[in-house]
Amino acid sequence: MGIKIYSHIAFLFFFLLCLGTLFLSSASFVNAQIAPKEYAFIFCSAAILITGALYVLFGNPQNLRFHNFVLPVCLIITVLCLAQAFYGIAQFLRWLPSIGKFRITGSFDNPAGFAASLCAGFPFFFYFLTRKEKWMRIASIIGMAIIVFAVFLSGSRAGMVALAAVCILGVFYFFRTGTKQKIAVGIFLAILITGLYFYKKDSADGRLLIWRCSWEMIKEKPIIGYGQGGFKANYMNWQAAYFEAHPDSKQAMLADNINRPFNEYIGLLVNYGFAGFLLFLLLVFYLIRTFRRIPKKTIITYIAVWCLTAIAIFAFFSYPLRYPFVWVAGLLSVSVVLLQGNATSLRGGTTKQSRKKRYKVKGKLFTLSPLTFYLSPATMSVLILLIAPVVCFKSYSRLLAEMKWTKIAHKSLAGQTEQMLPEYKLLYPQLRNNELFLYNYTAELNFIKRYEESLTIAHECERLWADYDLQMLVADNCWQLKDYTQAEQHYRKAAAMCPAKFVPLYQLAKMLDVTGRSSDAVALAKQIVNKPIKISSPQINAIQREMRQLIEREEKNDSIPETIINKPIENQRQGNEAAEKVQFFVIASEAKQPRKKRLKVKGKLFTLLPLTFHLSPALSSLDCFASLAMTRTATFYEASALPP
């Protein structure tokens, strides 16, 4: 096959790569918006690498011309980003549905992914400003304006700052600017960042709290960090410790269930310590060094740098590296810089060529330089052909496991929990490192009252994930097993993790009263009655009303009727032939979270369902009918109160 055929195949796979990482969603996965995009990245990237490897081995690599790839690549990225922007604008206009409470999410789980992807693709529009065709330049300007407008509508402050920085770099490239203009630009950026801080001050202060607790984590393990997934496995424990030490902190109302630091650099320090951060800085230094030694920089070189700049700025305030299209744009940009810089070096285009040494092994196999070790294209191609199929096979096996998990989870939620538990057990060896699977498995065991098994899986999940809802689940298991001391510890820990939530204290007060610690229960009830409310709701009002009744009964020396505790509510849903008795648990801290979660999606989205917690008659009168309507339905909400 000739170079044109290989090129067309590669462009097709690149188009599918960008299309999949931007738009692919599937209800066959628990995480319907992100997991399909991740698998699209793996399989399409492998296809591109294999195509390139085959061409190197069986084609004529000398015929490859870098500039032949620029226009198709830029065209694919810009057209698909425009489509994503129109998708978000249509959501804003209510023409298309969005995810959760947000007005704009695009094909992502929240506005952060939407804005991060558009910011990563935005610099590629600049390529068309250098074209001779006037219509291309006009179309490029219009496209850039649409992207900016869509990001502005999304409300992503990180996206606004990133786009402003890229636009400024573009102005510097196309127009001559002096010192005064650069100072003015610096002042403008400072004003923009300050204004965006006050635009959503509570959200910004919430992130400052996250960074403060994260810094305490870094100080605990500064050298090598906590390892892969260390932030998610430990952060909420540190947040709980902070509020236990500062119970009157004004930031208590801002705290929520967090599993990302809203800053990729802090996340890097937490997970890998200063050792990992130093390696990252060395990579950045090498990229800068490579960029600077390119003698004839083209527009695509600058576009690559601007793309990396946009991602780097976004990473200061959010989590862009969660989204696969950002991986695509970032890796493409890094490849452009490295290919142009190293091609220049190999042609003798640097003044330090004498420092490079070449070694021939079986006919010129390796090229060595002070900072890099180059394998010949043929050797790299062979390695790709050996490794890529293995990666694809493992990924495909995990894909099937996740799809099967989604299927059995839905069946379990539909009333077949007992029948599905053997399936959960079969999936356990494959998904035991997935904290969301372990949480779901724990909740299903709890739901059918297999509390000891549920507690065992829950403790395994705790190693991977520090989470408010997991603590509530562990506490209920301990309560049912009559381990009241452990149950109290977990309820108090959950309350410290998210001080604004009412349910941990409410459940603890009921347990204390049931176990004969009436005075402690009354003290806790008084705390609940006087607790500040973050978001008012009927559930919170009902909880406070019941706690007032508890206080009044104790003052009158009346005992609480035993029927109040663990009273099941008959499920009266129409059309359900296998009607079952279910017990409801009220999540009262926010009106958007009325039920205990049995299935969590990526720590950010939830399916809200009933669990084996307790609802007193005082609450049932207000909430029973709404609860029945939501029973075993998949309703998704965003877990963090912090906007993107």
pLDDT average, residue stretch 184-198: 79
pLDDT in tens, 264-286: 999 999 999 999 999 999 999 99
pLDDT exceeds cutoff 90 at 203: no
pLDDT average, residue stretch 453-458: 95
Residue 181: pLDDT band with limits 50, 70, 90: confident
CA dihedral for 215, 243, 610, 605, sign (positive or negative): negative
pLDDT exceeds cutoff 50 at 615: no
pLDDT in tens, 359-402: 444 444 444 444 444 567 788 889 999 999 999 999 999 999 99
8 A C-beta contact, residue 450 and residue 441: no
3-class SS of residue 373:
strand
8 A C-beta contact, residue 276 and residue 225: yes
The pLDDT, as a whole number, for residue 545 is 92
Give the Cα separation of 374 and 359 in Å (integer): 11
Beta bridge partners of 367: 358, 374
Name the range with the highest mean pLDDT among 3-7, 218-222, 353-357.
218-222
Beta bridge partners of 374: 367
Residue by residue, DSSP assigns 468-494 as HHHHHHHHHHHHHTT-HHHHHHHHHHH
Give CA angle at 392 (390, 398), nearest 5°. Answer: 105
pLDDT exceeds cutoff 90 at 149: yes
One-letter-per-residue 3-state SS of 64-84 = CCCHHHHHHHHHHHHHHHHHH
H helix intervals, 155-263: 157-174, 179-199, 201-220, 230-245
pLDDT average, residue stretch 128-147: 93
pLDDT exceeds cutoff 70 at 101: yes
Q: Where are the domains of the chain?
A: 432-630
Instruction: Compute φ and ψ for 597, nearest 5 degrees.
Output: -95, 130
The pLDDT, as a whole number, for residue 600 is 66
The pLDDT, as a whole number, for residue 597 is 64
| 3-state percent breakdown (helix, strand, coil) of the chain, nearest 5 | 70, 5, 30
The pLDDT, as a whole number, for residue 307 is 96
pLDDT in tens, 229-261: 999 999 999 999 999 998 888 888 888 899 899
Give the Cα separation of 473 and 464 in Å (integer): 15
8 A C-beta contact, residue 345 and residue 353: yes
DSSP state of 34: T
Give the Cα separation of 81 and 59 in Å (integer): 33
- What are the residues whose beta carbons fall under 8 Å from the beta carbon of 272, sequence distance 6 or more? 224, 225, 227, 279
The pLDDT, as a whole number, for residue 375 is 65
Residue of 612 and 412 predicted with greater confidence: 412
Residue 606: pLDDT band with limits 50, 70, 90: very low
The pLDDT, as a whole number, for residue 204 is 81
pLDDT in tens, 559-590: 444 443 343 333 323 333 332 322 233 333 33
The pLDDT, as a whole number, for residue 344 is 58
The pLDDT, as a whole number, for residue 599 is 66
The pLDDT, as a whole number, for residue 497 is 94
Say how many CA atoms lie within 13 Å of 554 toward its Cβ: 20
Q: Torsion over CA of 326, 329, 331 and 335, rounded to 10 degrees? A: -170
- CA 21 to chain CA mean position, Å: 14
Give the Cα separation of 93 and 112 in Å (integer): 19
User: Among residues of the chain, what percentage have pLDDT more than 70?
Assistant: 80
The pLDDT, as a whole number, for residue 185 is 76
pLDDT exceeds cutoff 50 at 547: yes
Class of domain 432-630: mainly alpha
Residue 300: pLDDT band with limits 50, 70, 90: very high
pLDDT average, residue stretch 160-185: 85
The pLDDT, as a whole number, for residue 558 is 52
pLDDT exceeds cutoff 80 at 631: no
Give the Cα separation of 633 and 610 in Å (integer): 10
One-letter-per-residue 3-state SS of 106-174 = CCCCCHHHHHHHHHHHHHHHHHHHCCCCHHHHHHHHHHHHHHHHHHHHHCCHHHHHHHHHHHHHHHHHH
Q: Are strands 605-608 and 597-601 parallel, antiparallel or unpaired?
A: antiparallel
Lowest mean pLDDT among 135-144, 348-357, 546-555, 587-596: 587-596
The pLDDT, as a whole number, for residue 86 is 96
pLDDT exceeds cutoff 70 at 301: yes
Residue 191, token pair as written in the block:
């004003």
CA dihedral for 137, 138, 141, 147, sign (positive or negative): negative
- CA 88 to chain CA mean position, Å: 19
pLDDT exceeds cutoff 70 at 311: yes
Lowest mean pLDDT among 125-134, 416-425, 628-637: 628-637
3-class SS of residue 600:
strand
The pLDDT, as a whole number, for residue 374 is 55
pLDDT in tens, 14-44: 999 999 999 999 999 999 999 999 999 999 9
pLDDT exceeds cutoff 50 at 434: yes
pLDDT in tens, 471-515: 999 999 999 999 999 999 999 999 999 999 999 999 999 999 999
pLDDT in tens, 523-543: 999 999 999 888 888 989 999
